[in-house]
Structure formats: C-alpha cells, structure tokens
Amino acid sequence: MIEYENLGELNKPFFEEYKISFEKTLNSGWYILGENVKRFEEEFSAYHQLKYCIGVASGLDALVLSLKALNYEKDSEVIVPSNTYIATILSILHCGLKPVLVEPELETYNIDPKKIEEKISAKTKAIMIVHLYGKPCDMRPILALKEKYHLALVEDCAQSHGAKYFGRLTGTFGEFGAFSFYPTKNLGALGDAGAVLTDDTALSKLINRLRNYGSDVKYYNEIVGYNSRLHEMQAGFLSIKLKHLDEINTHKRKLAKIYFDNLKEDFIKPVVEENVFDVFHIFNIRHSKRGELKNYLLKNEIKTEIHYPVPPHKQKAMAGIISEKDFPISEEIHATTLSLPISFYHTEDDIFKVVEVMNKF
C-alpha cells in the first residue's frame, strides 16, 4: 500500500533529535513561552529575513490575531479566495468582518488578480491571500492593488513554507505572514502550532500581547487578549525541523518532477511558471472522472486525498453568511481535483509506481 501520508514515517528521521529536545524541555520545568519559543521565533524570522516572528497556537489563530491587530471596524470587508481551506474564511468571520470571495484562476488554483478590483468597495480594508498547495500567488498585480487602494495584505502561508516568488519568500510581502505548523504541513510540528511574521514593530507588539491575555508584564493586561501561545515542546521540535525545511521542499519538488515528466496527458497537472518556486504541499491533478480514478487507485493500493471536496460557499456552516453563489471555477476545481502522494517519506520508486498505475487508467 502506498499511503497518502504517514506522519510517523515522515518524522522518523528526526526522532532522535526530538527525544533529546523533549527530555531537555521536560527537565527544564519551563513549559510556556520559554527558551524554545524564543529561539524558534528568532530562527523563523531570520529564515525570512524579517524582524519579527510571534509563535501562536495554530494557523487559524495566526490569521485571526493578524486581523485583530489590524483592528478594523465591524463589517469591514476582506478580500479572500473562494477556493481555500475554510480556516482562511473563518478567521475573517471570527473578527466580525465580512469575507468577500474572489474566484481563483483555473490554471494556478490561486486567487485571480484580475478579478479582485471589481470586488473592492469603500468598505474593503484588506486582502487575505492563500498560497494554495504550496504555489505562490501572482504577487505583482496583487501588490499593485494593495498600493492603489491602500489595503493591508495578510498572507495565509499554511501551505507555502519556503515557497518563493521571484526569489522572495511567501510571508514577506504583506503586513503579516500567517503560518500553520499542523503536523502535515511542509514544516509540521507534532501537534497544533502556528506563527505570525511581520516587519512592523508596533504590529509585532500587538500580536505579542494578543496571544498572551493582552499582557506584556504578567498580571498587567493592556488590551483584551487571548490565550494563543506556541507550545514550548512544539517550538523545540520546530527548530529541529526548520533546519531540514529546504531539504524537505527539495525532496517534494523532486517527486513532483516525476509526476510532471511521466504522467500521461489525460491528467491536468499544475502549471509550471518561471520564477515561481512551488513547494508542493499538495500535488494535485484534475480529471473529469475524479471519483472513479480515486477508487481505481485505491483498488491498486494507492491512497489519495481530495483538497477539498466542498467549496467554502457550499459548506453548511456558510449558509446565510456567504450569500453569493456564483463561483463556477471553484466548483470545477472542487469537482475534479485529486491529491497524489508526495510526502517527504515517499521514495522516487513510490511515485514511479503511482505513475505506472495512473497511466493505465
């Protein structure tokens, strides 16, 4: 059986270092906002050549706290892709703001910059983009709109650790880069974890307070805050894995190349763009008989996933919240996409086996 993902196998190369880190933290007796969190924050901001990284409890919280820090009036509008994981949209709702959905490009699956401007109103305050599947969005036109309309930019980098657009890392383009370290992500912890990147001193202080009960000094609360701190154990594990992030991404890109070079034309593969360094959090193909293909692969001992089966505007939770229903491109993607195995632990032989079976479909 070729599994889609196996987190035990994925993490095995790091077990020995993890055990040392675990024991060290255990013995330290300091389990909240200690040395590990501080070190990881320094390492992760240095990796991005930005001034600040603030560790938080999850990717969702990284998005929520970013929007909270920007402090918009209730019902202000935030532009967001219609084709994303629900968390991106939930973060906007949890801040009392209104998500305004913009269709993706059918080729890149990322927000279509050409369709943003028509959705900008007097109430629009920010654009929240998602570098979906590990592929950076087309930043040049997005940055031009940000400038033209004086909008904030929040990047959802939950799937794009280490991805680059014209040599520049995702998470470094806007006011905030919001990251998830959910275990399956390219930089994954052993539990929930997240971080916010920013180059702005005042905003970084706000996120620092927000994640820790609105407090800078224990028992003195400056603002209405949350409890959303990056866990000390997870930060220790993340420092270890961060050293291998580029190696993880290189491996995934090597596996992706096998799919690109060998999968037959029947499958619609992701586009390859010059100057876009895609880290393939997910390698998807599209096919009109997606369900049949998925079953066929399973019968041949190959597990796949669907990211995602239901678009946000059709989720039950969004009834009465997202009233617009005209998102044909999102629906097309959701109806035809299939994610193929591409974990750090998969071998080239695994992928050649997937290709061989797929090409007989």
Ligand X SMILES: *Cc1c(COP(=O)(O)O)cnc(C)c1O
Kindly list the residues in this chain that would bind ligand X in the complex (CB under 6 A).
Answer: 58-60, 84-85, 87-88, 130, 156, 158-159, 180, 182, 192, 194
Q: Residue 124 or residue 180: which is nearer to ligand X going by CB?
A: 180
Task: Give the three-state DSSP class for 37.
Answer: helix
Q: For residue 28, what are the contacts with CB-CB under 8 A and spacing of at least 6?
A: 34, 35
Q: Residue 59 or residue 113: which is nearer to ligand X going by CB?
A: 59
Distance CA 204, CA 197 (A): 8
Q: Show the tokens assigned to 8.
A: 């035990």
Q: Residue 180 or residue 208: which is nearer to ligand X going by CB?
A: 180
Q: What are phi and psi of 270, to 5 degrees?
A: -60, 150
Closest distance between ligand X and the C-beta of residue 269, in Å? 21
Q: Residue 90 or residue 223: which is nearer to ligand X going by CB?
A: 90
Largest CA distance in the chain: 65
Closest distance between ligand X and the C-beta of residue 12, in Å? 22
Closest distance between ligand X and the C-beta of residue 308, in Å? 9
Closest distance between ligand X and the C-beta of residue 94, in Å? 12
Q: Residue 112 or residue 156: which is nearer to ligand X going by CB?
A: 156
Give the dihedral sign, CA 353/354/356/357. positive
Single-letter code of the amino acid located at 189 = A
Closest distance between ligand X and the C-beta of residue 90, in Å? 9
Q: Residue 339 or residue 350: which is nearer to ligand X going by CB?
A: 339
Q: Residue 187 or residue 285: which is nearer to ligand X going by CB?
A: 187
Strands (E) across the chain are located at 52-56, 77-81, 98-102, 124-130, 152-156, 164-165, 168-169, 176-180, 194-198, 215-217, 220-221, 276-277, 283-286, 337-340
Closest distance between ligand X and the C-beta of residue 282, in Å? 9
Task: Give the three-state DSSP class for 198.
Answer: strand
Please identify the residue of the shown chain whose CB is closest to the bound ligand X.
59
Closest distance between ligand X and the C-beta of residue 63, in Å? 7
Q: For residue 323, what are the contacts with CB-CB under 8 A and spacing of at least 6?
A: none
